[in-house]
Chains A and B, each alone.
Chain A
Amino acid sequence: MKEKDILIDYKDHQVVLYAEKSDNTIGPVQTGSYVTSHYYNEFLSLMGSLERSLYEKLQKGEISPVFLYMTLEELTVSELALRVKIPLRRVKKHLTVKHFPAVKVDELRRYAEVFNIPVANFFQVIATRQDNKWRMGYSADMENKKPLTISQEETNNPYVVFTKPEINQP
């Protein structure tokens, strides 16, 4: 691959590729990511539709919150069990609506740490984006037109989160 063939102007996702330079050497070239620059919207739409369908199922009581986050984070049950240090059989139970109420609070905290969310998020669905810049899956939604952002801050108590609605700056 020649250097000139891989150069892509995409500042948001930079990668280093190796390519043949004009002096016949092969060296590193910092450039934009081809896949992100061409398929980012496609990726957002795929993940957005998955997120929406999972939240719908959650609200209908068809899946447990643990199942929702495990699927969104693309973890398998075995990997999740290893990460939360809970026996596989027990994790499998926590994925079902029937057995989710049997999850202990400490176990929820461990799940929350793996999913990097506050414990409170297992019991609520927040309709507005949590973060204008980074939060994905809602970018094409009309809901984003609302001038509200919900931000959540950790407190020193691992079981409590500070949820703060804010008016977006124009």
Chain B
Amino acid sequence: MNPFNLPRKCALREKFVVVVSAVIVVSMLVISGYLIKRQNEVFHQQLDKRGVALITNLAYNAEYGVILEAEDELETLIKGVAMADDVIYVTIVAADGRTLAGTGKDLKGTVRQLPIKQEELEVGSNKVQDKYFRAADGAEFIELAYPVQTQRKSVSKENLGAVAGYSEEQGATTTEIIGEVRIGLTLENMHKEIVKSRTAAILLTLMVVLSAIIIMTAFVRIITRPIESLVDVTDHISKGDLSKTVDVMWKDEIGHLAESFNRMIESLKKSQDEIEEYNRTLEEKIIERTKELEDAQSQLVQSEKMAAVGQLAAGVAHELNNPLGGILGYAQFALEKIQSKEINEFTPKDIESYKRYLSDIENQSRRCKAIVRNLLKFSRTSQTLELQEIEINQVLDETLSFLEHQLMMNQLSLKKMYDKTIPRTKGNPGQLQQVFTNIVINAMHASRPGSEIAISTRWLPPLGEFSGAIEVAIADEGIGISEANQKKIFEPFFTTKEVGKGTGLGLSVSYGIIKEHGGEIKVKSKPGEGTVFTIILPLEKRSDSVEIISNRQGV
């Protein structure tokens, strides 16, 4: 979850910061722009006012200088004006265009052409002509122009020499333009101020944005921290850890969310506990049922075994009847003989005969005992696999002794091909007999009269990692097993026999027994030709051979 959550979380914070910063920057720029524009206008107005004041004052003072063309006086006037730091130049021109006085830069070509047309200047007005210029070097300035005017009286000859103070009433006066004053005012100072303001505005904007970012980051963190805590706890929950809870920091919406989340964890924990409790009892139940199943399984093995014993009963009886026939016969015969004579009539030859009869009886009784013991060994219940040293050929012979009669009854011949070199191995003889009995009985049921059942054993000697094995093959020439059925024959309750003729458990029980021996049971069959069951029993790694080698090394 984290690799997906992390970038999303960052994006949330960044988006927030970027949007708010953008809003701040835009509004700051708009405000600054407006303020700078206002400032610009104010500067212009102030400059204009100053310029107008300067130029009108100068024009007024220059009146007599121009009339008299007193250049020195005009220069002095100009110098006073030019002292102001934003004045670049001051020029006074006569009405005919001659420069009467001038100071400052050479501004050739930028100056308006003279002579000044009378109509351009409104006589008697206070209007100052201003014009914007940009010098070749890029310096900006405005030029103010104002006419120098004078009052002319039409004085009659008779009035000449009269007191000037009376002249106004005595003659008509006309205003006449006699020249022009031009002042160049630089805009550089204004520009400098504007640049300063702009820089200040930018700095201020940056500061505001920066502090906004800092505040926002902190704020976003305050908001996201509980969310991160939520995400962290969610991660833990998704991993099955319910021990963590979300810290409730504020009583806000997220706080509410955290609280309800904690409640959810609580109920989740509760239901998990319930499930665990249920699982535990389930486990107990499973153990109990498994035990029951195991018991049933061992009962099944036992009943399957007893069913085999039942099938063997006739064979066992036959096996017993032969020695019993000898025992009964010789016992009766000996008794008859002994009863027919007086003790002293017994010849040594008679005694010899009786001895032979008795020893025959003894031998045959032992044979009976062995058969019974063998049968008991076979039918004995064993809950666990008790392993003992066995000789596979002997186990097979003991099994077949009970089966031979049945084979004979079914007119089947038995062919034994034993490998006499097979070493002894560990196994449960009773269970192995059960397996062999089962397979031979199946073979018998599948065989036609007159056919053969071949039983062969083979030793697969150890080779490298392989510690060797015993192979027992039981082959018949019977009807065979179809390929589809070959896959199912080891399944429990699978049978091709009629209802009541087989439990369908024989081979599955056999399979279990061989598996328990660490072996394998395989079937190979061709319908109509016969079936071969192969049982492989692994041999244990023998440590004694190693000992022998070490002994030899010792010698």
Binding between chains A and B: no
Q: Which residues of B approach A to under 8 Å, CB–CB?
A: none
